[in-house]
Amino acid sequence: MKKIIALALAVMMAVCVFAGCSAKSEKLTMATNAEFPPFEYLENGEIVGADVDIAKAIAEKLGRELEITNIDFDAALTGAATGKYDMAVAGITANDERKKNMNFSVDYYTASQAIIVLADSAISGVADLEGKTISCQEGTTGEQYLLDNEYTVQSFKTGAEAVTALTSGKVDAVVIDDAVARALSAEQNGKTKVLDEALTQEAYAIALKKGDDKLTAEIDKALGELKADGTLAKIFEKFELPYDAE
Ligand code: GLN
């Protein structure tokens, strides 16, 4: 009888600990813009991509439940900066301008701005872009580069729309992050190509609210571990993203 009571008590305690634990498991909220293959995109209505896998791995390390919200890119940035979401993971370039308003994790990927043109275009490099009309995605470093260099710019909510502007003859070129340029161009059945010459050198990092140093440090630690144990390399390989783990 004593044994049964002891066992029952042990089971009850285990259940309490377990239930208490799962009820307390804090959410880790993430904003992204699932229009940026292969970092984040929709597949059968589900948000997938390299950033999603990285965020899942981080959430697991932090013992928190990941909740992803899909919104416009600029809204994702603002949402992280204001603390509406714990973080934004969206192929976000960590640059000095943005660092004024938000925290950034350590870098996790190196990128650049690339040029997409029609397959038979006479544009073969940056020098040929002079005087041309170029489309891009709103609120991005690509847009900023084009404005800074005084090109005629047409901005769209998504990279896909920027590419449609090219294939429908409204613009001469698209400027967008290199890996995304390759992914979007590959969907055009040979109508477009990505030029070898890139425009910038950038690094992706996770954006957080300015001053949220505790979570930033936790994410940095998780990213460091995921890099060291090869998880990051594996994720980038899964999405066919070139990666040099220095
Ligand atoms: N890397 C670019 C930026 O941070 C584009 C990101 C994106 O469109 N998701 O502005």
Per-position pLDDT tens, the chain of length 246: 666 666 666 665 555 555 545 555 799 999 999 999 999 999 999 999 999 999 999 999 999 999 999 999 999 999 999 999 999 999 999 999 999 999 999 999 999 999 999 999 999 999 999 999 999 999 999 999 999 999 999 999 999 999 999 999 999 999 999 999 999 999 999 999 999 999 999 999 999 999 999 999 999 999 999 999 999 999 999 999 999 875
Residues 190 and 232 in one domain: no
Same structural domain, 80 and 40? yes
pLDDT (0 to 100) of residue 244: 84
Do 166 and 211 lie in one domain? The reply is no
Reference 133, options 157, 179, 165; nearest CA is: 165
Write down the pLDDT at residue 24: 59
Q: Is the same domain home to 57 and 87?
A: yes
Mutation test of ligand 1: which of 30, 70, 73, 241 has the most ligand atoms closer than 8 Å to its C-beta?
A: 73
Is the Cβ atom of 137 under 6 angstroms away from ligand 1? yes
Task: Give yes or no for residue 145 CB within 6 A of ligand 1.
Answer: no
Q: Is 32 in the pocket of ligand 1 (CB under 6 A)?
A: no
Say if CB 223 and CB 106 are below 8 A apart. Answer: yes
* Number of domains, the chain: 2
CATH number of the domain enclosing 93: 3.40.190.10
Do 77 and 98 form a contact (C-beta atoms < 8 A)?
Answer: yes
Same domain, 67 and 128: no
Position 118 in a domain: yes
- CA–CA separation, 156 and 160 (whole Å): 9
Alpha carbon distance 83, 53 (integer Å) = 22
Residue 155, ligand 1, Cβ within 6 A: no
Report how far ligand 1's centroid is from the alpha carbon of 118 (Å).
22
Closest Cα to atom 5 of ligand 1: 140
Answer whether 0.85 is exceeded by the pTM: yes
Query: 140 CA distance to ligand 1 centroid (A)?
Result: 5
140, 147, 174, 204, best to mutate for ligand 1 pocket (most atoms within 8 Å of CB)? 140
Would you say residue 153 lies in a domain? yes
Instruction: Give the range of the structural domain holding residue 46, as residue numbers without chain letter.
Output: 19-110+203-238
Identify the residue whose C-alpha is closest to ligand 1 atom 8: 140
Six-digit token string for 136: 């891009």
